[in-house]
Amino acid sequence: MSHAVTFNHNKYRPFTPVSKPDRRWPDQAITTAPDWCSVDLRDGNQALVEPMNAQQKLRLWDLLLSVGFKQIEVGFPSASSHDFAFLRQLIEEDRIPEDVTVQVLTQARADLIGRTFEALKGVRRAVVHFYNSTSTVQRRDVFKLDREGIKRIAVEGARLVKAEAAQHPETEWVFEYSPESFTGTELDFAVEVCDAVNSVLEPTPENPVIINLPATVEMSTPNVYADQIEWFCDHVTHREAIKISLHTHNDRGCAVAAAELGVMAGADRIEGTLMGNGERTGNMDIITMAMNLYSQGVDPKLDFGRMDEVIAVTRECTQLPVHPRHPYAGELVFTAFSGSHQDAINKCLARRSPDEPWDVAYLPIDPADIGRNYQEVIRINSQSGKGGVAYVLQRDYGLELPRWLQVDFSAAVQGLAESSESEVGSEAIYQLFTDTYLNSRNGWSLGNYQLQREGEVDALTVTLHHGGKELTATGRGNGVVDAFVDAMESVINTRVVLVEYSEHTLGQSADAEAVCYIQLNIDGERPCGVGRSNDIVHASLAAILSALDGSGIAMTKAA
Ligand SMILES: CC(=O)SCCNC(=O)CCNC(=O)[C@H](O)C(C)(C)COP(=O)(O)OP(=O)(O)OC[C@H]1O[C@@H](n2cnc3c(N)ncnc32)[C@H](O)[C@@H]1OP(=O)(O)O
Ligand SMILES: CC(C)C(=O)C(=O)O
């Protein structure tokens, strides 16, 4: 394969690690949920091919409330009349619950800040989130300003939001400042700018400012981001009066990991979106991070118990598909196709008692917790093994196949899966089971039989049908199974050894059907058979005949 001349890694530079020999975050664990802020209606919306209409925004807003978000960034009202109108609608229709705070974004620019406060008029409580880019590249190429110039934008923004807020004391104001493109900003400069902003805002522990440190572009491994967060927390002034918020993007695929390590490094708050929708590769996926906490026994303070509804509404509003393997939410994430996984899941679920902590191989959480059922856990294709097939027959048809029959039957399922080159559904598996063991394969069927007890010995006379002909056989033995094996030995004139026998009823009642599973040894061949009847004796005889019938060679001697 020839390489395109443009595919040249020499064009790029590695990220600079943070020199931090005293790092503490690797020893931390997350034991409580951070404060969550959904930015679906702002960062998520600004990244959509077709931004949400008013109806879709309301739908998503209601969903976010029902999941339990207490802080929701609802838009950039100074940038768009739609965002402005949506915020007005929430305020004027009194749609913001007492315990929920709306947040709005604005650049640190006078006209935009003025318009932002217009949009917020009459709101009970709000987070005003202002930002300006501080990164080296944006300073050089976008703003063409030095550090002082960039700091001035931030400080002026802080002064303006504070002044605007002071004119509306009826509202409870919270300020949030982002040194946008924090991950491309020298750490000392990020601290310098945020300190300067805070010297205007004058936060206190009772009235803290939110300092949001965005990985506007994810530029390094998550450990470096965590180092940056810890370094920032160690050096910023008035840490006790600041809520450190994180807002990670997923350019390198590690937005959730970065946010998690960032929380370990001292952050209090997380901004993100459902399913990680957002600019480019998206924002941090709050579902994944919250469910990661949940799976560790930490209350995520968000309720994803109705995951399918969350997915349906999000998909409808964003018009974005959900990957079938999206963590926790995707259609296939609790499904095992491969044999060894199925076998392990099957055994763990069978052994598990419901009052013990969840500990099931390959399933990090109980699918039932998010409204999924076990139906989807095990699905069958050519990668599947006997355990999975047995699980499906047990789950859907109550058949408890003994291990040796699982082995025998899995070859048939494998053959079907390979020839069909597709998934094999539960009904097709059952049909194959019926065709393989329950329907006569070579035309033999059981007619009447008579059993007589003579002392310690049972004598059996049985009628067999084949191709319109009738054949009577007799046998003696210790019990009816033994007597029938004896009768069949005389029919095929070959030694028949009963190797395995297993039975169960299909239900609790006295007249419940019985299922009998048999394995024979005939000249080294080990045919298996299954019989099913309201009468256990009939089921046993039918199973033996099924095994003989299926073996083909044996019964040709009788035909
Ligand atoms: C990482 C993020 O997601 S940040 C949020 C991004 N979201 C959005 O941008 C929402 C949609 N944006 C918009 O509709 C528009 O950009 C507006 C209304 C906000 C601004 O519109 P305009 O002023 O017409 O245009 P534009 O966005 O191109 O503005 C760029 C100007 O603002 C300046 N600017 C950009 N960001 C900031 C900032 N945070 N603070 C101060 N000035 C800024 C730029 O230097 C540039 O200045 P110049 O015109 O002197 O060259
Ligand atoms: C405005 C900021 C927080 C942002 O959206 C980003 O940096 O991605």
The CATH number for 241's domain is 3.20.20.70
Provide the pLDDT confidence category of residue 552 given band limits of 50, 70 and 90: low
Domain total of the chain: 2
CA distance 404 to 518: 10
Q: What is the CATH number of the domain that holds 529?
A: 3.30.160.270
Give the Å distance between the CA of 88 and the centre of ligand 2: 23
Query: Is 415 inside a domain boundary?
Result: no
Ligand found nearest the CA of 281? 2
- Residue 505 has a CB neighbour count (10 Å cut-off) of 16
138 lines ligand 2 (CB under 6 A): no
Which of 318, 337, 362 is where one domain is finished? 318
Higher pLDDT, residue 107 or 549: 107
Token pair of 474 as six digits: 């007799």
The pLDDT tens digits for 328-374 are: 999 899 988 888 898 899 889 989 999 999 999 999 999 999 998 76
- DSSP state letters, 281-334: T-B-BHHHHHHHHHTTT---SS--TTHHHHHHHHHHHH-----TTSTTTSTTTT
448 and 301 together in one domain: no
Q: Which residue has the tokens 């459902």?
A: 274
Domain that holds residue 544: 444-551
Instruction: Say whether 292 counts as a known binding-site residue.
Output: no
180 lines ligand 1 (CB under 6 A): yes
Query: Is 376 inside a domain boundary?
Result: no
- Percentage above 70 pLDDT, the chain: 97
Checking phi first, is residue 130 left (phi over 0); if not, alpha (psi -120 to 50) or beta?
beta
Length of the chain: 559
Closest CA to 532 of 434, 389, 427, 394: 434
- Residue 131 backbone dihedrals phi, psi, to 5 degrees: -150, 160
Task: Please report the pLDDT score of residue 18 as a whole number.
Answer: 97
Amino acid at 155: V
* pLDDT over threshold 80, residue 138: yes
The pLDDT tens digits for 243-260 are: 999 999 999 999 999 999
Higher pLDDT, residue 387 or 135: 135
Give the Å distance between the CA of 45 and the centre of ligand 1: 16
Ligand found nearest the CA of 193? 1
CA distance 96 to 86: 12
Provide the pLDDT confidence category of residue 375 given band limits of 50, 70 and 90: low
549 lines ligand 2 (CB under 6 A): no
Query: Is 220 inside a domain boundary?
Result: yes
Task: Please report the pLDDT score of residue 396 as a whole number.
Answer: 92
Ligand 2: residue whose CA is nearest its atom 7: 216
Instruction: Say whether 442 counts as a known binding-site residue.
Output: no
Task: Please report the pLDDT score of residue 554 as a whole number.
Answer: 58
* pLDDT over threshold 70, residue 201: yes
The pLDDT tens digits for 250-291 are: 999 999 999 999 999 999 999 999 999 999 999 999 999 999
- DSSP state letters, 419-463: HHTS-B-HHHHHHHHIIIIIS-SSSEEEEEEEEEEETTEEEEEEE
Task: Please report the pLDDT score of residue 553 as a whole number.
Answer: 59
Task: Please report the pLDDT score of residue 33 as a whole number.
Answer: 98
* pLDDT over threshold 90, residue 1: no
216 lines ligand 2 (CB under 6 A): yes
48 and 192 together in one domain: yes
The pLDDT tens digits for 482-520 are: 999 999 999 989 999 999 999 999 987 777 899 999 999
76 lines ligand 1 (CB under 6 A): yes
Instruction: Say whether 465 counts as a known binding-site residue.
Output: no
Q: Which of 340-349, 465-474, 545-554 has the lowest mean pLDDT?
A: 545-554
Strand 457-466, strand 469-477: pairing: antiparallel
Alpha carbon 343 to its chain centroid, in Å, reads 20
Task: Please report the pLDDT score of residue 443 as a whole number.
Answer: 82
Task: Please report the pLDDT score of residue 175 as a whole number.
Answer: 98
Q: Which residue has the tokens 């902003």?
A: 197
- Residue 469 backbone dihedrals phi, psi, to 5 degrees: -100, 160
Ligand 1: residue whose CA is nearest its atom 33: 143
* pLDDT over threshold 90, residue 454: no
Nearest atom in ligand 2 to 178's CA? 3
Task: Please report the pLDDT score of residue 361 as a whole number.
Answer: 96
Judge contact between 445 and 465, C-beta under 8 A.
yes
Which of 318, 333, 356 is where one domain is finished? 318
Q: 113 in helix, strand or coil? A: helix
For ligand 1, pick from 40, 105, 107 the residue to mutate: most ligand atoms within 8 Å of CB: 107
Token pair of 109 as six digits: 């620019």
Nearest atom in ligand 1 to 130's CA? 39
* pLDDT over threshold 80, residue 158: yes
184 lines ligand 2 (CB under 6 A): no
116 lines ligand 1 (CB under 6 A): no
Q: 493 in helix, strand or coil? A: coil
Strand 514-521, strand 35-38: pairing: unpaired
Query: Is 330 inside a domain boundary?
Result: no
Task: Please report the pLDDT score of residue 339 as a whole number.
Answer: 83
Query: Is 347 inside a domain boundary?
Result: no
Query: Is 329 inside a domain boundary?
Result: no
Average pLDDT over residues 63-91: 98
* pLDDT over threshold 70, residue 456: yes
Which of 296, 318, 340 is where one domain is finished? 318
CA distance 132 to 146: 13
CA distance 411 to 363: 26
The pLDDT tens digits for 421-451 are: 889 999 999 999 999 999 877 788 899 999 9
**Model confidence, pTM:** 0.86
Amino acid at 520: L
Query: Is 120 inside a domain boundary?
Result: yes
109 lines ligand 1 (CB under 6 A): yes
Average pLDDT over residues 58-80: 98
Query: Is 310 inside a domain boundary?
Result: yes
